[in-house]
Amino acid sequence: MSLLIITFLLALADILNSFANLVEATSSLLLAINILLENELVTKLLSSTFNL
């Protein structure tokens, strides 16, 4: 019975770790987008491309 509980806790820890990795990746992506949007050249390119 204790082996089942340990296995469940390990699986739960793995799921939480995966979620944390997803949050970190999303944060990095948003940071990269923010840096790109602050770049004047990229802003001009986007505005001319999408007629903003």
Q: Which residues contact 46 (CB under 8 A, 6 or more apart)?
A: 52
Owning domain of residue 17 = 1-51
Q: How many domains does the chain have?
A: 1
pLDDT level of residue 52 (50, 70, 90 thresholds): low
What are the pLDDT digits (tens) for 17-49?
999 999 999 999 999 988 888 888 777 887 888
* Average of per-residue pLDDT across 2-11: 96
Q: How far apart are CA 49 and CA 52, in angstroms?
A: 8
